[in-house]
Amino acid sequence: MRERLIRAWNFVVSTQFLSIVQTVGIIGAFVIATLALRADARKNSAVLMLEFDKMLSEKRRVDLINSIEKGDCVLKDGGQFSGDDVDDLLGVYDLLNVAYRNKLINYEMVEEAFSWDFERVYHDGEVQDTLRNERAQEGEPDLFEAVDQLASSFGITVDPVFRSCKPVPALSPASVGKPGQIKSSARSNHLRG
């Protein structure tokens, strides 16, 4: 009888031990899978971010962004771009925000890679005029709404009295680091060389 109790006890102890080992193994596998998914999500975010950079690096878009950054008139007074060029650029930023809102690209990557140029474009008076005019013409006040959402995500607002073809306004507080130093996200065209 004693032997039987000892065997039963050993069986219970070994079964419990195996259950504990199995539970620890499952938790360990879950942690490893979660870490792998996070790494995969960051990789996918980086790949998608590079695709957006490639789209924004097309010559016509780069020329438009550079003209805006220099404070040149881009549409009026001999500007070399059309409303379609501005629409095209805003469309890329619109898609960028959709990718960000759907968590396909993380905020840090979007902010680091695109906030500087986007802030300059969004602050441009001609771009704002184009947005207002197209919204009025189409009767769609939410046209390019994702562009406004992206601006909001970056903490960018537009001065309502800002007009076309004026020098680009001073950097927003969100773009400035320590006095005399600009955050790394505030480097224009840093991915485009």
Domain-located, residue 26: no
- State which residues form the domain around 140: 45-186
Q: For the chain, how many structural domains are there in total?
A: 1
Domain-located, residue 18: no
Residues 96-129: tens digit of each pLDDT? 999 999 999 989 989 999 999 999 999 898 999 8
Domain-located, residue 104: yes
Domain-located, residue 13: no
CA separation for the pair 35, 22 (Å, rounded) = 20
Domain-located, residue 75: yes
Domain-located, residue 9: no
CA separation for the pair 128, 140 (Å, rounded) = 15
Burial environment of residue 105 by CB neighbours within 10 A (0 to 12, 13 to 18, 19 or more): buried
Domain-located, residue 32: no
The owner of tokens 């968590």 is: 103
Residues 67-92: tens digit of each pLDDT? 998 888 899 777 899 999 999 999 99
Amino acid at 148: D
How far are the Cα atoms of 18, 24, 33, 148 from residue 30, in angstroms, in the given order? 18, 10, 5, 39
Domain-located, residue 125: yes
The pair of structure tokens assigned to 173 is 């507080």
